[in-house]
Every structure is written in structure tokens, then in C-alpha cells.
Amino acid sequence: MAVAATRVTAGVSFAARLAFDRISHAFSPSAATLHDVSLAAEPGEVLCLLGPSGSGKTTLLRIAAGIEAQTRGSVYLNDQEIAGPNVFLPPEQRSIGLVFQDFALFPHLTIRRMSGSG
């Protein structure tokens, strides 16, 4: 018996399809941050980027937002190329937000104390 694939969606959906096609990035010629990354986030889909520090998670998000330019590959928003070999839509025209993490947001609290259980 075949099992049908199910999609888990968020209560509030992302209104656009965001796709990366063969994205590569390097901060220097000898240090590739991303190599040939392809993935797509469908509208309503929950997507999580996991990996160790320095693996390129933030760089990929910065490329999506237009803060960083990829070395190779293309970025698509609703199947329209917004960054590629001959296209670079500026960040203010992409409608993609990025919230940076800050480890020192509440340096005086622990996770337990922030959640109200300690």
C-alpha cells in the first residue's frame, strides 16, 4: 500500500514561492560557503535550515533578501528570476524580510526564566 505524502503548512502562509537554483557563494577564492545549493520553499510550507556555525545558512538567507550576491546560480520569487547571472533585483524591491539573531537580546535571562517556568 502506498503512503501519500502530506504537507505541513503554517497557520499563516508565506505568500510566495522562493526557490534557489544551484546557488554557490564564496567570501574568498579558497573558501566556498555554499556550493550548488538547490531548494524551494512553497507557499504555506514550513522550512528549517539546520547546520553548524559557518555552514552557510545565514548566507543563503542574505542572498534571498538581496543583501549578499551569489557567486553562481539563480534565485526565483514566484518563478520570476530576482538574482542570477544577468539579473539582480535590489533588496527594497524583493519584499523579503530578514530578522537577524542576537545572542545578547536578554543576556540576564535563561531560556527557562524567559518561558516563565523558572
Q: pLDDT tens, 23-79?
A: 999 988 888 899 999 999 998 888 888 899 889 999 999 999 999 999 999 999 999
Domain residues for the domain of 71 are: 18-93
Mean pLDDT of 75-104: 87
- Residue 22 neighbours by CB distance under 10 Å: 13
Which residue, 33, 21, 31, is CA-closest to 77?
21
pLDDT at 82: 97
Domains of the chain: total: 1
**Residue 92, C-beta contacts closer than 8 angstroms, at least 6 positions apart:** none
Looking up cell 524567559 gives 114
pLDDT at 47: 85
pLDDT at 13 over 60: no
One-letter amino acid of 80: Q
| pTM: predicted TM-score of the whole model, two decimal places | 0.73
Where does the pLDDT of residue 12 fall: very low under 50, low under 70, confident under 90, or very high at 90 and above? very low
Dihedral (C-alpha) 58, 59, 60, 61: value to the nearest 10 degrees? 50
The verdict on residue 58 lying in a domain is: yes
Contact 63, 39 (CB under 8 A): no
| CATH code: domain of residue 64 | 3.40.50.300
